[in-house]
Structure 1
Amino acid sequence: MAVVAGCGADATPDLADVEERLADLEMRADAADAERDALADALATQHAADQDEIVDTSASSSTTTAAASTTTEVIFPEPAAPDASPFATVFGDLGELAIPRGAPGELAVVATTDGLDRTGSLGIIVRNNTPAPIGRVEIAVEAQLDGEVIGTGESTRFQPTVVGPGEISWGYAYFDVRTFPEGTTFDLSVTSEPLDGRSPGLKVIEVNQADSYLLGTVENQTDATVDGPMTITMACFDAEGSFVGIETTMINNYDIPPGQTGSFDTRILGVSCDRGLAAASGYYYG
């Protein structure tokens, strides 16, 4: 039987051929490893670049929002005319008054009389330098000498009882003495009551001086009856426009219906009061 060499399962491979094939495989493996390393390096480089881009994009898209400034400017009122209130009336030859402005933003004392009058009272004028109307003014006063308190006084009913921005109100603080030693100073603390609508104003329509008396007429210009006690307070000035005193008295009527009038009269025992400012008010009890 003839046998053909290299064609059977038991044929023996040529050694040179095997070595050549092995060398080829090893070369291919080296090339694959080199390619794998190159791809890995490229992937790492791309990943790093992507991370940098993300950081840059995040930084560029971040927005810093500064807090908006919301400072609100408070506008304080200009000083109003002495009779700006609808319930303030000038009487006599008053002329121009140089009433100080006072500190802005406060209910400020702008004038006082020079010491106490015959009744032991200190006349006071205040101005509302706030942006809103206020109710009745109240003042506590300490008389001081050489740093010591030698007397205290409380205010009576200031008029007008409603004080608009820039407007003034006048009244007095009463002490239980008639005079203080020379050098006495007065420390005043000013407050106001809230607007409650319980102290309506009366319009002073006439003030006359007859000898040592002041007398006149008030009118209820509201739509409801004004009840007593009703009072009128007058700030008195001299010919030069200086504040010299306060006169106050009761309205003679028990009540005044809408549109009706009432009368007052008072004897002047102290300084002259032939020119000044007058305001009156009463109460609502309904």
Structure 2
Amino acid sequence: MRTTGGLAAIIAATLLLTACGSSSEPAAVEPDTVTSAPAEEPAATEVEPLPFNASGYLGGTAQPNLDAGEPDEVSVVQIGPLDSASGTLIFAFRNNTSESISHVDWTATARSGGSIAATGSSQGTTPAQLQPGEAGLSYIYFDNADAIPADAEYEFQVSTSAADTSPYNTAPLTVTEANVSGDSIVGGATNETGAETTGPYSVEVYCFEGDTLLSSMITFAEQTDEIPDGGTVTFSANLFGDSCPTFVLGVSGYFA
């Protein structure tokens, strides 16, 4: 009986040790629970706003001070009056991205009381290419501008391309002369892009009173064909008696 009891005790002890994990393999350890911090939004690109006409492409007498705009965006910084007769809404914008841009194309929606009253799109910008921090001017053409109420609010969207001299990219010419002659502004512009350009060459005039946009008009240069680097175009822009205390003017075509 003693022998049997001793054997039982040994078996029990062996079972106890086995249950306590006396195996040579290490016991599994539960990993600590790690909570990842939410990913941080990339910091907005810091672009210093440049003085108006920093590129030197434009001519004229206006030197408006325009708002800085939204960081890391191409954004509207001033909206001028709607000209229901011509169907145009003029505005200023700034390139606060880190890249030079061209082919800047805008669309806009006019809303009143939460409903869409009209939609439209731009037809060029001045200047045709903008470096980081530079301000530009443009206008939206609305087919039914006379249906837009005075209390309308405007929403803008923009698309851009890289600024280079690839064929059909927008090409800024440098205005070398712009003089008031009667009711017109006459002058010339030179192709200083380093590449051949082609027309039509648009001539866009924007009138200011101080820092405020008043009106605009568009015409075309006399020349329409290819212009080599160093070549020139001439123009005459009739203001038709509109008040234009100060003005800025840009000329642009396309790379050939």
What TM-score comes out, normalization by structure 1 length?
Answer: 0.70
Aligned counterpart for 1:124 among listed residues 91, 95, 99: 91
Which has the larger share of helix?
A: 1
* Structure 1 residue 105 displacement after superposition: 4.9
Q: Distance in 1 between matches of 2:206 and 2:251?
A: 12
Paired residues of 1:153 and 1:174 also in contact (CA < 8 A): yes
Aligned counterpart for 2:16 among listed residues 27, 45, 57: 45
Whether 2:123 is the aligned partner of 1:156: answer yes
Secondary structure of the 2:161 match is: coil
Moved more, 39-48 or 224-233: 39-48
Q: Distance in 2 between matches of 1:88 and 1:186?
A: 32
Q: Distance in 2 between matches of 1:212 and 1:52?
A: 102
Secondary structure of the 1:42 match is: helix
Aligned counterpart for 1:91 among listed residues 52, 60, 65: 60
| Larger Rg computed on CA atoms | 1
* Structure 1 residue 144 displacement after superposition: 5.8
Aligned counterpart for 2:204 among listed residues 233, 246, 255: 233
Q: Distance in 1 between matches of 2:70 and 2:197?
A: 34
Secondary structure of the 1:157 match is: strand
Whether 2:167 is the aligned partner of 1:200: answer no
1:55-204 equivalences under 5 Å are: 57-59=27-29, 62=31, 64=33, 66-67=35-36, 70-76=39-45, 77-84=47-54, 86=55, 88-89=57-58, 91-92=60-61, 94-95=62-63, 97-116=64-83, 119-141=86-108, 153-175=120-142, 183=150, 185=152, 187-195=154-162, 197=166, 198-204=169-175
Q: Distance in 2 between matches of 1:180 and 1:47?
A: 89
* Structure 1 residue 170 displacement after superposition: 1.3
Q: Distance in 1 between matches of 2:186 and 2:137?
A: 19
Q: Which residue identity does 1:167 align to in structure 2?
A: E
Percent identical among aligned pairs is 24
* Structure 1 residue 281 displacement after superposition: 1.8
Q: Which residue identity does 1:39 align to in structure 2?
A: I
Q: Which residue matches 2:213? A: 243
Residues 107 and 262 of structure 1: is their aligned pair in 2 closer, same or farther, counting only changes over 3 Å? same
1:18-33 equivalences under 5 Å are: 30-33=1-4
Q: Which residue identity does 1:73 align to in structure 2?
A: P
Q: Distance in 1 between matches of 2:119 and 2:37?
A: 50
* Structure 1 residue 106 displacement after superposition: 4.3
Q: Which residue identity does 2:214 align to in structure 1?
A: V
Which whole-Å deviations, capped at 9, do the CAs of 1:244-277 have from their partners, x for residues lacking one?
1223321222332112222222122253445343
What TM-score comes out, normalization by structure 2 length?
Answer: 0.76
* Structure 1 residue 103 displacement after superposition: 4.2
Q: Distance in 2 between matches of 1:152 and 1:68?
A: 43
* Structure 1 residue 223 displacement after superposition: 2.6
Return 5+ residue gaps in structure 1 as ranges: 1-29
Q: Distance in 1 between matches of 2:201 and 2:14?
A: 98
Which whole-Å deviations, capped at 9, do the CAs of 1:95-126 have from their partners, x for residues lacking one?
4x332334445433222222317644322222
Secondary structure of the 1:216 match is: strand
Paired residues of 1:83 and 1:277 also in contact (CA < 8 A): no
Q: Which residue matches 2:242? A: 271
CA RMSD of aligned residues (A): 3.5
Return 5+ residue gaps in structure 2 as ranges: none
* Structure 1 residue 142 displacement after superposition: 5.1
Residues 222 and 103 of structure 1: is their aligned pair in 2 closer, same or farther, counting only changes over 3 Å? closer
* Structure 1 residue 152 displacement after superposition: 5.0
Q: Which residue identity does 1:227 align to in structure 2?
A: T
